[in-house]
Amino acid sequence: MPLHMRFGEDDFLRCRFAVSPLWETQEAIRTLNRPDRHGFHGPWLRRIQEDARRLDLAPLWLLMPRFGHSPDWLSPPPLGPATAFDEEIALVRRADRQAAYHDTARSLKDTPGALGSRLGRVLLRDMEHTVTWLADLLEEAWRVLVEPYWPRLRALLEADVAFHSRRLAETGLGGLLPQLDPRITWRAGTLTVDARTEHVRDLDGQGLVLMPSVFSWPDVVGGFEPPWPPMLVYPVRGIGGLWARQAADAPDALSRLLGRGRAAVLAALNEPAGTTALARRLGLAPSSVSAHLSALRDAGLLTSRRYGHEVLYEQTPLGIALAAGGDPA
């Protein structure tokens, strides 16, 4: 049963990309309780398992049904492409208590037995307490599960946004949307997501927030009920290499040829990225990364293009072959 999002004329002008540390925190919590998501996150799970045991995640897990509604007030769409966690959690703390009550009750109904359980009753008894309680739990989970790894996660998410922004410029919105995931189709101004529940929403001039996610993999998440803006969350590109040791990925022969710093920069560019994102990913000074990028571009191993205020770099065919340790095609 599909999810349909219907675009009007103004909606095409109000589509935007976003990255959300709060969303990644919630999905990291969900991933701990979803063995089917563990495959790509083994190194992360091993690193956080001891600290995660000290977190009381049961109240949040109860509001994360495997199939069904999760409370929208716990994950408001991000304000912009670089929204900080502190800004997002402040929105959660300011949630309208009556709306949060109905949203929470709806979610509990989607988990058999949850609405009448002791914990379910506690969650609905006093929304003033519940909002503060769950916001505190989310903030604690952010500090333990996500914040230590956020520079790496953010770099991957920003690379995805840069890549798809370029595709948007090249193909238009109708060409881009089906490329985000095979379960997404576009026809006659309607975006359709292959989902387990049927839902239709007219965007009504609000546009659509497009958001890549690390921990939502492999799911595509869409919807959000009014008054929340419509949002589509899709699996980020390049997740298979997320937990690899970034600076050590360059082949030894390539390091001897180019030097360790330039080899690491070349190897890290398996997705288009800018200087700042690479510096975060590799733990190097932006000035050093900039110098390496210029040298690699001059040698014909990288190309660069300007998108807005940012310059993005990507490997040439020769650069791809060298980074992989093989012969150029």
CATH of the domain at 308: 1.10.10.10
The larger pLDDT score, comparing residue 50 to residue 152, is at: 50
Which of the four pLDDT bands, split at 50, 70 and 90, describes residue 248? very low
CA–CA separation, 186 vs 177, rounded Å?
Answer: 7
| Pairing, β 231-235 against β 310-315 | unpaired
The model's pLDDT over 82-125, given as tens digits with 9 standing for 90+, comes to: 789 999 999 999 999 999 999 999 999 988 888 889 999 999 99
Whether the CB-CB separation of 94 and 74 falls below 8 Å is answered with no
CA–CA separation, 101 vs 127, rounded Å?
Answer: 6
CA–CA separation, 228 vs 45, rounded Å?
Answer: 32
CA–CA separation, 222 vs 220, rounded Å?
Answer: 7
pLDDT cut 90: percent of the chain above it: 36
Whole-number pLDDT of residue 282: 87
Most confidently modeled of 17-26, 176-185, 207-216, 251-260? 17-26
Q: Containing H/E element for 26? A: helix 21-32
DSSP 76: P
Whole-number pLDDT of residue 180: 87
282-291 burial string, b = 16+ CB within 10 Å, else e? bebeeeebbe
106 is a domain residue: yes
Residues 33 and 97 in one domain: yes
DSSP 143: I
The model's pLDDT over 177-186, given as tens digits with 9 standing for 90+, comes to: 888 888 888 8
Instruction: Please state the domain count of the chain.
Output: 3
CA–CA separation, 237 vs 300, rounded Å?
Answer: 25
| pLDDT, mean over the chain | 85
Which of the four pLDDT bands, split at 50, 70 and 90, describes residue 315? confident
Residues 283 and 220 in one domain: no
101 is a domain residue: yes
Coil vs helix vs strand at 267? helix
CA–CA separation, 218 vs 87, rounded Å?
Answer: 27
The model's pLDDT over 41-85, given as tens digits with 9 standing for 90+, comes to: 888 999 999 999 999 999 999 999 888 888 999 988 887 777 899
232 is a domain residue: yes
Whole-number pLDDT of residue 217: 83
Which of the four pLDDT bands, split at 50, 70 and 90, describes residue 271? confident
Residue 215 pLDDT > 80: yes
Which of the four pLDDT bands, split at 50, 70 and 90, describes residue 155? confident
Whole-number pLDDT of residue 1: 58
Whole-number pLDDT of residue 188: 84
Residues 123 and 25 in one domain: yes
Backbone dihedral region of 13: left (phi > 0), alpha (psi from -120 to 50 degrees) or beta? alpha
Say what the alpha-carbon torsion angle 240, 244, 248, 253 is, to the nearest 10 degrees: -30
Q: Containing H/E element for 185? A: strand 184-187
Whole-number pLDDT of residue 22: 96
The larger pLDDT score, comparing residue 324 to residue 166, is at: 166
Which of the four pLDDT bands, split at 50, 70 and 90, describes residue 250? low
329 is a domain residue: no
Whole-number pLDDT of residue 246: 47
CB atoms within 10 A of CB 315: 22
Residues 113 and 201 in one domain: no
Residues 144 and 186 in one domain: no
Question: What are the tokens at 137?
Answer: 């739990």
CA–CA separation, 213 vs 200, rounded Å?
Answer: 23
pLDDT cut 70: percent of the chain above it: 92
Q: How confident is the model over 187-193, as a mean pLDDT? A: 86
Whole-number pLDDT of residue 56: 93
Residues 51 and 132 in one domain: yes
The letter for the amino acid at 269 is L
Question: What are the tokens at 212?
Answer: 């890549």
Residue 247 pLDDT > 60: no
The domain in which residue 248 lies consists of: 244-324
Residues 113 and 129 in one domain: yes
